[in-house]
Amino acid sequence: MPPRVSIIIPAYNAEAFIAATLDSVLAQTVSPAEIIVINDGSTDTTPELLSAYGSRIQVFHQQNAGQAAARNTGARLSRGDLLLFLDSDDLLDPDFLAQQGALLTRFDGADAVYCDHRTIDETGQITATTGALGYPRPSGDILRALLHGPCIVTPGLVLLRRAAFEATCGFNQTTAMRGYEDDALWLEMAARGYFIYNPHTLLSYRRHAAQATRQSAYQLKAGLARLTALQAIAAAVTARAQPELQHFYQTRLRDSRLSAAWANGQLGNHAAALHAACAALADHPASAQAWRGFGHALFRAISSRGS
């Protein structure tokens, strides 16, 4: 019996794109077992648009709590063996589920499979035919690639096993992690399991001005969220007993602490900036980069007291 797929779509004020997204899901050559849309407190016409799909989708309503909470709610309500967390503005190619599901069936030891994407704009016009040249695309143990930086640009690229998802803490729902919760989940999963890369382009990733990732505040807070995500996998990395990986992880943790120090300084949180810089220096006392970061954070903290 083939695995059952649950597609989970968080939707907040998604009236501009949600119909196109749902139509792409309903056009799959292999139908999902269920399509669950979590209306996350929308104040536009999203509820009315969803109601037009009738029994073809399941709609649940909640007060606005963010994408992470909506995805976690959808996962709890779902029944599938495989989960797909699709954003409300992305589009699936018709054979997405057929290809991704076949790979997970073939590689039964893998926790997830991810594919490539093209980029589209607000109108659906293609602005980039592939994302393969912009990010590493490993298969198997992808943790080192993820430690370099986020390389799965949208959660809809990943079809994952329910068991692997339930072995994690789910999507981090804290405000500090908003917009970065999917990358934190992939780090947690990759620290314990394996991903398969499907080189085919099977999703259209929509880029538009309203996206959280296009906002300047998001870019600053991403550094803080990255540090939280890396700290969360410390025990899992240590348990792998791979000295080279552990060394690389510690280097990335230092860099992330220095990035968090800079971001906190930009946000005016000078005490937090100094704390992060001190932690980087304590772990890497011979690092010139850590000393520079500490010096900058200390100077800003002292200057802020005198102003």
> Residue 66: is its pLDDT beyond 60?
yes
Q: Do residues 127 and 253 both lie within one domain? A: no
Q: Which of 208, 242, 272 is the C-terminal boundary of a domain?
A: 208
Distance CA 177, CA 171 (A): 9
Instruction: Considering only residues 276 and 36, tell me which one the structure prediction assigns the higher pLDDT.
Output: 36
Give me the residues paired with residue 236 across strands: none
Half-sphere CA count of 305, side-chain side, radius 13 A? 6
Distance CA 160, CA 107 (A): 12
Q: Which of 208, 231, 257 is the C-terminal boundary of a domain?
A: 208
Instruction: Considering only residues 98 and 263, tell me which one the structure prediction assigns the higher pLDDT.
Output: 98
Confidence band, pLDDT 50/70/90 cuts, at residue 266: confident
pTM over 0.85: yes
Q: How many domains does the chain have?
A: 2
- Identify the pLDDT of residue 216: 57
Q: Do residues 174 and 251 both lie within one domain? A: no
pLDDT in tens, 9-37: 999 999 999 999 999 999 999 999 999 99
pLDDT in tens, 216-250: 566 678 888 999 999 999 999 999 999 999 999 99
Instruction: Considering only residues 293 and 91, tell me which one the structure prediction assigns the higher pLDDT.
Output: 91
Q: Do residues 271 and 199 both lie within one domain? A: no
Q: Which of 173, 208, 243 is the C-terminal boundary of a domain?
A: 208
Distance CA 53, CA 56 (A): 6
- Work out the burial of residue 200: count CB atoms within 10 Å of its CB; fewer than 13 is exposed, 13-18 middle, 19 or more buried: middle
Q: Do residues 82 and 168 both lie within one domain? A: yes
Confidence band, pLDDT 50/70/90 cuts, at residue 307: low
CATH of residue 142's domain is 3.90.550.10
Q: Do residues 51 and 191 both lie within one domain? A: yes
Mean pLDDT of 70-79: 98
CATH of residue 264's domain is 1.25.40
Q: Do residues 22 and 103 both lie within one domain? A: yes
Where in the sequence is the domain holding 22, given as residue range(s)?
5-208
Residue pair 280/288 in contact by the 8 Å Cβ criterion: no
> Residue 282: is its pLDDT beyond 90?
no
Q: Do residues 198 and 230 both lie within one domain? A: no
